[in-house]
Every structure is written in structure tokens, then in C-alpha cells.
Amino acid sequence: MGELLPSVLISEEQIRARVAELAADIERDHAAGEELLLVGVLRGSFIFLADLARALTMPRCIDFIALSSYENRTTSDGGVRLIMDVRVSVTNRHVLVVEDIVDSGHTLRYLMKAFTARRPASLRSCVLVRKPERLQVEVDVDYLGFDIPDRWVVGYGLDWANRYRALPYIGIVEPDGG
């Protein structure tokens, strides 16, 4: 059985244009010559981060973190755990956390709290897509690609059971064909 091809929600062209706009917004908010540390959240952000990093022209470094989250989110941290940390110190650095998606908001909220404690020079977040209907906790997104409806989206780094990440657009999986 072949994989169903997800229907297009956000096209390659729309993503490319929006990434360029986000890069311009980010550059505008940082002083000339300031170095930015881009922190990608594995694994979903890897394609977005790759395109964003190349759309930027300011001095920039790249690092990654990995998190795990649990279904049981009754704990105060929303069930989020850091399983791989950045290799560099973020203290006194200008940090931009790059996330694929904000759903409940627990993951990004956890991250911003954890990084704030390390006293960066500045800390902002850049998120490809957000599902406003799903938000459970308040979390600031400084740079947002798109707000989307409450549907499971794949592609451009986003997965469904670790599949579809390499799809060039953001699509919706519709197992029932509808």
C-alpha cells in the first residue's frame, strides 16, 4: 500500500515567501553586526531552520536541542523533558528558538523558561505554524509563519509517525480520503 499524498494546506511558494519575510523581520529587530544563535528543536524544525538560516544575512550560529513530551501532561512542566541540550552556552548570547509547531504551547513554554534561566542577552521564538484553537498555556511567539486550523499537518519537517517530513509543502493527512 502506498502512502496517501497529503492535501496541500500551505504551498512551497507560500512557505518560501513567508520564510523570507520572517528573516527580514528578524534582521530588523537585531542591531547590525549582532550575532544570532539559532536553536532548532529537533526533529521537526530541521527544514524550516535550514531555510531560515540561509534566508538570513546577519552573523549567525546554529545549534540544536531535543525534547520529549509525554501524553500525561498533568505536571507543571506539561510533561516536557530536555533530552539533548545545546552544546554552547547561551548566556549573554542573542538566542532565537526555532520551532516547527505550537499546539498546546507546553513545549515552547518549557523551552523559553529553561533558556530564560540561563540569562541570554535576548531570547525570542520563531515558529512555523500555530494552532490557536489548541493552545492550553500562554506563550509568546515573536515570529510566526502561519496560524492553521486544528488539523494534523505534515511536511516541511513535520511528521505523522515519523513519516512525511521531507514533503516540500505543509499538508493535511486525510486517511479516510475526505
- Least CB distance from residue 105 to ligand IMP, whole Å? 5
CA distances from 144 to 22, 77, 99, 127 (A): 8, 23, 10, 5
Residues that bind Mg ion (rule: CB under 5 A) add up to a total of 2
d(CA 136, CA 168): 29
Q: Which stretch binds ligand IMP (CB under 6 A): 5-13, 14-22, 85-93, 95-103?
A: 95-103
Of 40, 44, 120, 171, the one binding Mg ion (CB under 5 A) is 44
Say whether residue 120 binds Mg ion (CB under 5 A). Answer: no
- Least CB distance from residue 83 to ligand IMP, whole Å? 13
Answer whether 122's CB lies under 8 Å from 116's CB.
no
- Least CB distance from residue 4 to ligand IMP, whole Å? 15
Beta strands 7-10; 122-130: pairing state: unpaired
Say whether residue 153 binds ligand IMP (CB under 6 A). Answer: yes
Residues that bind ligand IMP (rule: CB under 6 A) add up to a total of 13
C-alpha cell at 147: 496560524
d(CA 51, CA 19): 7
Say whether residue 125 binds ligand IMP (CB under 6 A). Answer: no
Q: Which residues are catalytic?
A: 103
Q: Which stretch binds ligand IMP (CB under 6 A): 8-16, 50-58, 81-89, 105-113?
A: 105-113
d(CA 133, CA 131): 6
- Least CB distance from residue 34 to ligand IMP, whole Å? 28
Say whether residue 97 binds ligand IMP (CB under 6 A). Answer: no
Report how far Cα 152 is from the mean position of its chain's Cα atoms. 15
- Nearest Cα neighbor of 45 from 89, 95, 90, 97 is 97
d(CA 9, CA 148): 9
Q: Name the site residues for ligand IMP (rule: CB under 6 A).
A: 44, 69, 101-107, 152-153, 158-159
| Residue numbers at the binding site for Mg ion (CB under 5 A) | 44, 100
